[in-house]
């Protein structure tokens, strides 16, 4: 192509100003984000002027890319598609169809008399326009991506700053979704898989407030997942792009009838979380176009991923709120049934102990069993005698004691009787070690012993952990012990039950920490390391009760000694208590057998004849070393060690066959007669 005539032609026709005008127009359309069809139409107008043409026709591809549509700017400017079908793309029809089919420029000289120079000008300008439009599209795509990134960041901030306003979050998402694909309306339906329905209560009413769409929260509408385009998307998880809604038999007209709105075209996208459709976003009526495009689909797919996250969080938040409501109602019912009545605590204030008890209660081997009705009064007496009558308000102490009793379950061993027995052992130790422990420690240790097995279910920590009990998920170590402390705090927080209300905030924190550490120390798994460390400190003479860590170890050993004190009672009491212990052990073993697991021997009912040998092993490995170390720490506690050794000797005689009458294996029915109640299910 000779360039000199073309240059002269450019100068003669002032094409420099035309190019400048084209550049300015392209920049303006890029800034305003105008529609490409109108952009091309205006470019054609400029080229028409430059080529002194009488007119032009601008065609676009039809929906399936196999036909042409004539563009009319009047409809496009009014928000309508502005496309008139002009026939298929094939040979032998029209010049425009021929060019679209061959994808080559065609000059028909005889019709218009157009010079070859004008043809070159037209060809070069259209080529330039094509490049320019591509550049515009790339820039617009980057701008859209930046806008999307900014939006996702903004929504993330909105969600984390104000998680309560979940409807506002959904509105925020729907507003941007409309802008993203240039839709007139937007709807978001959630999926109710249980009832196989779609539902929504947030609607785009087509109004604006300060330039932003208004969404109205109204009565929830529901319809079957088997109906409509949204229903099909919810069932199949596939994207649907419907150019003519009323021509599609899948379209559900019920929503239009309900809202009074006319739907022309639809882009419907599933919101998928963990492989399940949890919602459907439906864009309605493309603005400035005949239908939603493939580009709209691709943009919306990316956005739907974030919609899934937002909707998942919304559902999770609502489930949490619902669970909180259930929790509050449950706690209200639990409080009603776990708090003592006014008659119960008032009756306790009137109880008095027989004079014979005052002497016996100071002895380590004191058996509380014959005085069941007086157990609460024994607790009050021990607290008053150890800490002083003015240390607690009488009414609060009585309320607390009776409510603690009510929160012990009727299990064979870890029950109210065991709690009072352990508290008595601690009382006896404190009475014989005056001047060693502070008033706060004495208060904390007596209350810790009384509460150390609150709400025990009769099952071991290992059992709860093995069967993934909720308590094991809540407390991964010392499961039941942490639960016992939690129950203690819960009772203290009940109205009229805070026996430590007269303490300062600092003293209150101290006494709660004493109680916590003491209760946790009753986890037998912690005993072995604790006793070993204490024995080494005693052997080396390094034990210092003014050292907080040493003092905690001493208190931990005292709690173990009190928890095991049934082995230090007179033989008849020790034997009956062993029955109660094994009633719980064997119940746990039975549960394990039901699911095909083999319990350890001491929990296997079929090995009940091995109980005496097991007791000998327990005394030698746990009990005797415990009371030996305790007697070295506090010599006045020596009677505990003496009684423990006497009972060990009794078990050894049974093992050797010298006194078979002292122990006879019993059936579950007989065991339950010596207990407060029979077995209890673990999930209660």
pLDDT at 452 over 90: yes
Question: Which tokens is 38 given?
Answer: 């109108």
2: confidence class by pLDDT, cuts 50, 70, 90: very low
Check residue 443 and give its pLDDT: 97
For residues 96-103, average pLDDT: 85
How confident is the model at residue 6, as a pLDDT? 41
Section 400-429 average pLDDT: 97
pLDDT tens digits, one per residue of 552-578:
999 999 999 999 999 999 999 999 999
On the question of pLDDT at 121 being above 60, the answer is no
The pair of three-digit structure tokens given for residue 475, joined into one six-digit string: 């407390």
HSE, side-chain direction, 13 A CA sphere, residue 120: 13
Q: DSSP letter string over 192-233?
A: ETTTTEEEEEEEEEEEEETTEEEEEEEEEEEEETTSHHHHHH
Class of domain 164-320: alpha beta
Q: How far apart are CA 578 and CA 595, in angstroms?
A: 27
Radius of gyration, CA atoms only, the chain = 43
CA dihedral 105, 50, 289, 152 (to 10 degrees): 100
CATH placement of domain 339-673: 1.10.1300.10
pLDDT at 125: 61
Q: What is the mean pLDDT of residues 28-56?
A: 71
The answer to whether residues 43 and 56 touch, using CB atoms and an 8 Å cutoff, is no
Q: How far apart are CA 554 and CA 403, in angstroms?
A: 29
Mean pLDDT calculated for residue range 384-397: 94
> Side by side, which strands form the sheet with 67-71?
59-61, 67-71, 83-88
CA distances for 387 relative to 165, 239, 274, 444, 664, angstroms: 53, 75, 59, 10, 43
pLDDT tens per residue across span 311-360: 777 778 778 888 888 888 887 777 777 899 999 999 999 999 999 899 99
pLDDT at residue 99 tops 90: no
- Domain boundary assignment for the chain: 3-142, 164-320, 339-673
Decide if pLDDT at 102 tops 80. yes
Q: Can you name the residues that pair with 85 across neighbouring β-strands?
A: 69
Q: In the predicted model, is pLDDT for residue 673 greater than 50?
A: no
Active site residue ranges: 414
What number is the average pLDDT over the span 603-619? 94
pLDDT computed for residue 308 by the predictor:
81
Tens digits of residue pLDDT in 48-60:
877 778 888 888 8
Q: Find, among 491, 493, 496, the residue nearest to 407 by Cα.
A: 491
């Amino acid at each position: 192509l000779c360039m000199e005539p073309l240059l002269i032609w450019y100068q003669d026709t002032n094409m420099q100003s035309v190019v400048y005008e084209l550049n300015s127009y392209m920049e303006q359309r890029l800034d305003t984000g105008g529609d490409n069809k109108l952009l091309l139409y205006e470019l054609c107008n400029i080229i028409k002027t430059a080529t002194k043409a009488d007119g032009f026709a601008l065609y676009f591809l039809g929906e399936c890319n196999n036909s042409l549509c004539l563009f009319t700017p009047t409809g496009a400017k009014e928000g309508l598609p502005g496309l008139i079908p002009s026939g298929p793309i094939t040979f032998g029809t029209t010049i425009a169809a021929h060019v679209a089919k061959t994808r080559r420029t065609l000059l028909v000289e005889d019709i218009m008399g157009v010079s070859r120079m004008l043809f070159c000008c037209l060809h070069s300008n259209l080529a330039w326009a094509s490049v320019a439009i591509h550049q515009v599209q790339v820039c617009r795509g980057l701008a859209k991506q930046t806008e999307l990134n900014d939006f996702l960041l903004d929504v993330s901030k909105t969600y984390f700053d104000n998680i309560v306003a979940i409807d506002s979050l959904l509105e925020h998402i729907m507003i941007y979704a409309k802008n993203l694909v240039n839709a007139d309306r937007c709807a978001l339906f959630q999926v109710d898989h249980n009832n196989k329905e779609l539902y929504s209560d947030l609607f785009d009413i087509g109004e604006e407030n300060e330039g932003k769409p208004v969404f109205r929260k109204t009565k929830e509408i529901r319809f079957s997942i088997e109906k409509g385009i949204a229903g099909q998307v919810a069932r199949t998880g596939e994207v649907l792009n419907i150019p003519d809604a009323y021509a599609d038999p899948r379209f559900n007209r019920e929503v239009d009838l309900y809202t009074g709105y006319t739907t022309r075209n639809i882009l419907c996208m599933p919101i998928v979380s963990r492989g399940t459709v949890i919602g459907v976003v439906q864009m309605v009526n493309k603005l400035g176009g005949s239908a939603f495009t493939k580009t709209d689909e691709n943009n919306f797919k990316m956005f739907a991923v974030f919609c899934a996250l937002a909707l998942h969080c919304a559902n999770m938040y609502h489930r949490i709120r619902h669970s909180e409501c259930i929790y509050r109602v449950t706690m209200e019912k639990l409080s009603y049934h776990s708090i003592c009545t006014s008659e119960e605590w008032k009756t306790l204030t009137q109880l008095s102990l027989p004079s014979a008890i005052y002497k016996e209660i100071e002895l380590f081997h004191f058996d509380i069993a014959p005085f069941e009705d007086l157990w609460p009064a024994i607790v009050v007496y021990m607290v008053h005698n150890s800490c002083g009558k003015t240390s607690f308000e009488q009414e609060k102490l009585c309320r607390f004691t009776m409510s603690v009793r009510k929160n012990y379950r009727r299990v064979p061993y870890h029950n109210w009787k065991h709690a009072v027995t352990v508290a008595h052992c601690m009382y006896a130790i404190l009475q014989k070690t005056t001047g060693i422990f502070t008033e706060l420690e004495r208060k904390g240790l007596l209350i810790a012993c009384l509460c150390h097995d609150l709400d025990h279910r009769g099952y071991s920590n290992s059992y709860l952990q093995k069967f993934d009990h909720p308590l094991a998920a809540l407390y991964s170590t010392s499961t039941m012990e942490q639960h016992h402390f939690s129950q203690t705090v819960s009772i203290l927080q009940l109205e009229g039950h805070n026996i430590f209300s007269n303490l300062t905030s600092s003293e209150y924190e101290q006494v709660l920490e004493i109680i916590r550490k003491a209760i946790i120390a009753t986890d037998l798994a912690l005993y072995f390391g604790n006793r070993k460390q204490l024995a080494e400190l005693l052997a080396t003479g390094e034990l210092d009760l003014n050292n907080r860590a040493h003092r905690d170890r001493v208190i931990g050993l005292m709690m173990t000694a009190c928890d095991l004190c049934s082995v230090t009672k007179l033989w008849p009491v020790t034997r009956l208590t062993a029955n109660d212990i094994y009633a719980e052990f064997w119940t746990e073993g039975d549960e394990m057998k039901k699911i095909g697991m083999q319990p350890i021997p001491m929990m296997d009912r079929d090995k009940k004849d091995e109980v005496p040998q097991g007791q000998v092993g327990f005394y030698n490995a746990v009990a005797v070393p415990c009371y030996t170390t305790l007697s070295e720490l506090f010599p006045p506690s020596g009677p505990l060690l003496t009684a423990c050794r006497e009972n060990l000797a009794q078990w050894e005689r049974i093992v050797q066959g010298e006194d078979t009458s002292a122990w006879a294996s019993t059936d579950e029915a007989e065991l339950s007669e010596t207990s407060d109640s029979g077995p209890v299910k673990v999930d209660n």
